[in-house]
Chain A
């Protein structure tokens, strides 16, 4: 039952990874009892499962995912929303308004209009239908302030960190509110512009340096240094 890779080795689509008593994980497939990679990425295995952490991928909607989208169009009974996926999503008017939706009296463009950003959850999605969104939960809805940045969707788990350790640290050290859309869109809201800029630069650094060991320590270091610099600047003033 051999494997044909070293841990964290860079593989290309079509590279054979394992044979026999192994299970295909993310970004792999089985052909004639052999496991192959289907994307460029770094191989890893836990127990008997062979995974490829993709370095380049796109977002595929999944039920229950929190995402950040842009309203594309106002329709008759809802909005179409760009969620940076192969499919455009729908948000129904009846979901947004707390009362029954009446097309005669309700003007949808006054609630949300083209270009508005929203935090939403994927309510339904399957092979045959485009994703439906919902904003009927606390924390979801129209974005009124903050800054948006885009990262490769595969990097989101790295930004979250093990059990949310990375993201909670950034939130704490920068005093920013951060919402991670699983589609690779991130909203950063801070009290001052400086705090937002710091949080964004840290996220960018994680994106560039993901998949290295000891990243959490380096980010902690970076955050501490920046903080000290700021305290000193304030003293000078």
Chain B
């Protein structure tokens, strides 16, 4: 994977990992994997493997971060040293601090922050293996962890990226496409409310391509949303079936 291939997408429209332009990687979701957390979720999005744990609402520490009129959401996005090819220093990097903030802001619109003043919800995201598009997969898992903790939400938040490789707009870029491609456009979305909570872009796109990419990412989000709902129901369905 170290040499750049001539083409990221061939004449038949098949990408270097065998997917079509509008095809998602395989997604596997599981809810309630950690027993010490109030809520938790695990996602495998292609080769990405990410754990998310949610705690709260509880007292805010350190105290000065407490808000008198609303709940605060704290997010820590962290990559394990073994999550990438070259060892990554376990200390939080500039990129991780930024992603923590971006993920926090994409989850906040889903919460009723004003209902529980002077409290905080903590979300810890641990990337065990990274292969491009971790912020989107992290958002998907974090939303599930918060819902599993019993914190009221307007909707589950789903993350999915679109982008441009060579001259084609494609869905859900993986690591190599992200690094060698022309543009990457991560989107976080609340499907029931039809609201975008995160929109970033890296690279350049024509206006027409941009619109196509956003539309494609939203379609991707909707597909993952169905899996997300299914994963959440599966955990609680088990409880229900035992009863009957």
A209 within 8 A of B: yes
Query: Measured between C-beta atoms, what is the minimum distance from B226 to chain A in Å?
Result: 11
Check if A86 sits within 8 Å of B59, measured CB to CB: yes
Query: Measured between C-beta atoms, what is the minimum distance from B136 to chain A in Å?
Result: 18
Measured in the bound complex, the distance between the Cα atoms of B240 and A14 in whole Å is 21
Chain B residues within an 8 Å CB radius of A16: 192
Contact stretch, chosen from A34-42, A103-111, A161-169, A174-182? A34-42
A21 within 8 A of B: no
Chain B residues within an 8 Å CB radius of A57: 150
Check if B59 sits within 8 Å of A14, measured CB to CB: no
Check if B147 sits within 8 Å of A29, measured CB to CB: no
Query: Measured between C-beta atoms, what is the minimum distance from A32 to chain B in Å?
Result: 9
Check if A36 sits within 8 Å of B192, measured CB to CB: yes
Measured in the bound complex, the distance between the Cα atoms of B237 and A60 in whole Å is 26
Measured in the bound complex, the distance between the Cα atoms of B57 and A88 in whole Å is 12
Our pick among B68, B154, B190, B229 for the contact of A128 (Cβ within 8 Å) is B68
Chain A residues within an 8 Å CB radius of B236: 10, 40, 55-56
Check if A31 sits within 8 Å of B58, measured CB to CB: no
| Main secondary structure on A side of the interface with B | loop
B177 within 8 A of A: no
Chain B residues within an 8 Å CB radius of A101: none
B148 within 8 A of A: yes
Query: Measured between C-beta atoms, what is the minimum distance from B63 to chain A in Å?
Result: 12
Interface flags for B145-181 (1: CB within 8 Å of A; 0: not) read: 0011111111110000000000000000000000000
B81 within 8 A of A: no
Interface residues of B (CB under 8 A from A): 38-39, 56-59, 68, 110, 112, 116-119, 147-156, 190-193, 229, 232-233, 236-237, 239-240, 242-244
